[in-house]
Amino acid sequence: MKGYLFLASFLVYAAWRTTHVINALTRPDLPHEYFGTASGPKDASSQCSVLRGADNKLSYCEDQTFWEFEDAQGHVFDRKVVASCDPNRKNWNTVMGPLSSPDPLGGLWLVEYDRANASAKEMKLVDYPERRDFHPLGVAIWPSKLGSTSNMFVVNHGRHRTTIEQFLLDPADPSSAKFIRTLSSKYFISPNALALTSPSSFFVSNDHFMTRRLPSILGEILPVIETFIGLPLGFISHVSIVNEAMPGAAIIRHTIPKLGISFPNGIALSPDGQTLAVASSSYTRVLFYNRTSNEDGTEKLTYAHAVSVPFAPDNVHYDDTGALLVAGHPYFPGLIAVAENKTTEGSPSWVAELTPRTQGGASVRSFDLDAPFSATQRVKAAASHGLTTLYQSDGSKFSGSTTGLRDTRSGTLFVVGLFEEGLLICRP
Ligand SMILES: *[C@@H]1O[C@H](CO)[C@@H](O)[C@H](O)[C@H]1NC(C)=O
Ligand SMILES: *[C@@H]1O[C@H](CO)[C@@H](O)[C@H](O)[C@H]1NC(C)=O
Ligand SMILES: *[C@@H]1O[C@H](CO)[C@@H](O)[C@H](O)[C@H]1NC(C)=O
């Protein structure tokens, strides 16, 4: 009897799991390239272009974020993009593997742009310890107010362990990042993405509990099992630096407001600071948590809702209207094939926005109808959020999208890809 019960629950679980996994395990029929906005499709061929850096080193970028410049009233009057890139990712990838060589180092790129032009420059890491690895993943920057300096935090997948590096950025010399210190903790098991809660505190996702860093065969098998069975072993930590005003090694306070998420990848805090969005890659959905900051500085995350997306979501970023940009992989085997040099074709890309529905809002029956391959072919509409496709590619134009960012002043969309050269810019 017990056996049947077990079998029955397993079958229910497997059926439920399959409906999620299928969104990233079958190849969708995507166009070479599509660019859309909430107000309709645009002409990707004339409005999207790829910005390249010197020596093509602005490549294989995992994350990107805005560095914002605010006036006295707190209004953003300018933005630059900072992207975390690692052209050596095919030989050093602590999330997907392999771990064959941590040399050479990755870098950060500063992208300055206006409505017509954009340029990219590799950032100089000033005072960064010599012979120290630098393999940047999640990056987050506190805004500059009236020309003040900004703290920047970067997840760094070093050869022995993962740390979080703190830098100082100065608008007077924007392409230099002054190294301040390294944050480390025994709880930094697999840090991936960051969401700042103050100039010196942040949430950090830990994507797996069983990581590639485990010895030999264990490191090859266990993380894959964790990903594909969807074991909820990832977690969200909150870190604050206690001695921020003092130099020297950081003393950090580390708490774990949320345990038990399957492959939590990107995370983002809403503009009002009330909601934390978490991309769960192995369940192809985005989880939303209500955030409460307690008097004693600890953080509480309360599950609010989940929104299924038509791809394995990678990074998430809010724009300043409260729309969440989600980028990811609609065909995960394609990404693995690219990582292993098993194909010369790119891996499909998909970027969408999730917009909170206002009560009694739009019809939830039909949505995303402009996209050549509509999200409706893979997911049902969520009660809490609308979904609109912003960018799609079968991989031939832009491969392996990991992060989308949008500057709402002009609607400009920025996309980076895990094994792609350059940074995509689409202007509506
Ligand atoms: C873009 O760059 C070109 C050439 O450098 C320059 O002539 C033009 O004024 C720039 N446009 C804007 C909007 O800055
Ligand atoms: C989350 O916050 C929203 C807005 O304040 C509220 O309506 C909702 O009930 C909250 N959900 C939970 C589970 O606390
Ligand atoms: C794939 O090709 C790159 C060079 O483009 C090389 O560095 C890497 O080691 C190759 N990976 C495999 C698994 O062969």
At 109-141, the pLDDT tens digits run: 999 999 999 999 999 999 999 989 999 999 999
**Bigger pLDDT: 420 vs 243:** 420
Average pLDDT over every residue of 2-27:
72
Average pLDDT over every residue of 324-353:
96
Task: Identify any residues that bridge with 304 across adjacent strands, giving them in sequence order.
Answer: none
Share of the chain above pLDDT 90, in %: 75
CATH for 314:
2.120.10.30
pLDDT of residue 99: 87
Q: How remote is the CA of residue 73 from the centroid of ligand 1, in Å?
A: 29
Find tokens 């400009």 and name the residue.
412
Average pLDDT over every residue of 142-171:
96
Whole-number mean pLDDT of the chain? 92
| Residue with CA closest to ligand 1 atom 4 | 117
pLDDT of residue 250: 82
What is the rounded CA–CA span in Å between residue 301 and residue 292? 7
User: Would you place residue 10 in the very low, low, confident or very high pLDDT band (cuts 50, 70, 90)?
Assistant: low
Q: Which range (142-151, 209-218, 314-323, 380-389) has the least confidence?
A: 209-218
Q: How remote is the CA of residue 303 from the centroid of ligand 2, in Å?
A: 9
Q: What is the DSSP letter of 380?
A: P
Is the pLDDT confidence value at 365 over 80? Answer: no
> Is residue 32 in contact with ligand 3, taking CB distance under 6 Å?
no
Is the pLDDT confidence value at 270 over 80? Answer: yes
| Residue with CA closest to ligand 2 atom 9 | 304
| Contact between residue 139 and residue 403 where contact means Cβ atoms under 8 Å apart | no
Is the pLDDT confidence value at 361 over 60? Answer: no
Closest CA to 177 of 121, 124, 135: 124
Is the pLDDT confidence value at 387 over 60? Answer: yes
> Is residue 302 in contact with ligand 2, taking CB distance under 6 Å?
yes
Amino acid in position 92: W
pLDDT of residue 15: 66
pLDDT of residue 207: 87
pLDDT of residue 89: 94
- Specify the number of domains making up the chain: 1
Is the pLDDT confidence value at 376 over 60? Answer: yes
What is the rounded CA–CA span in Å between residue 276 and residue 267? 7
pLDDT of residue 24: 87
- Prediction pTM value: 0.94
Q: Which ligand is nearest to the CA of 343?
A: 3
Q: How remote is the CA of residue 347 from the centroid of ligand 3, in Å?
A: 16
pLDDT of residue 3: 65
> Is residue 340 in contact with ligand 3, taking CB distance under 6 Å?
yes
Is the pLDDT confidence value at 22 over 80? Answer: no
Is the pLDDT confidence value at 424 over 60? Answer: yes
What is the rounded CA–CA span in Å between residue 87 and residue 419? 8
pLDDT in tens, 308-335: 999 999 999 999 999 999 999 999 999 9
Share of the chain above pLDDT 70, in %: 94
Is the pLDDT confidence value at 419 over 90? Answer: yes
Residue 249 token pair:
């090694």
Is the pLDDT confidence value at 230 over 60? Answer: yes
User: Would you place residue 2 in the very low, low, confident or very high pLDDT band (cuts 50, 70, 90)?
Assistant: low
Average pLDDT over every residue of 357-370:
74
Residue 309 token pair:
């997306």
Q: How remote is the CA of residue 344 from the centroid of ligand 3, in Å?
A: 12
User: Would you place residue 7 in the very low, low, confident or very high pLDDT band (cuts 50, 70, 90)?
Assistant: low
pLDDT of residue 372: 97
* Mutate which of 114, 117, 119 for ligand 1 pocket (most atoms within 8 A of beta carbon): 117
* Mutate which of 91, 93, 103, 344 for ligand 3 pocket (most atoms within 8 A of beta carbon): 91
Give ∠ CA 91-349-277 in degrees, rounded to 5: 90
Q: Which range (181-185, 224-228, 336-340) has the least confidence?
A: 224-228
What is the rounded CA–CA span in Å between residue 244 and residue 253? 12
What is the rounded CA–CA span in Å between residue 405 and residue 353? 10
Q: Which ligand is nearest to the CA of 338?
A: 3
Length of the chain: 428
> Is residue 161 in contact with ligand 3, taking CB distance under 6 Å?
no
Q: Which atom of ligand 2 is nearest to the CA of 303?
A: 13
For residue 34, what are the domain limits?
A: 2-426
Q: How remote is the CA of residue 287 from the centroid of ligand 2, in Å?
A: 13
Q: How remote is the CA of residue 38 from the centroid of ligand 2, in Å?
A: 26
The reply to whether omega before 257 is within 30° of 0 (cis) is no
Q: How remote is the CA of residue 291 from the centroid of ligand 2, in Å?
A: 9
User: Would you place residue 201 in the very low, low, confident or very high pLDDT band (cuts 50, 70, 90)?
Assistant: very high
**Bigger pLDDT: 315 vs 222:** 315
What is the rounded CA–CA span in Å between residue 132 and residue 135? 10
pLDDT of residue 12: 67
pLDDT of residue 362: 53
> Is residue 341 in contact with ligand 3, taking CB distance under 6 Å?
yes
Q: Which ligand is nearest to the CA of 300?
A: 2
Closest CA to 268 of 167, 138, 410, 145: 138
Neighbour-count burial of 294, counting CB atoms closer than 10 A to its CB (0-12 exposed, 13-18 middle, 19+ buried): exposed
Pocket of ligand 1 (CB under 6 A): 114-117
**Bigger pLDDT: 186 vs 21:** 186
| Residue with CA closest to ligand 3 atom 6 | 90
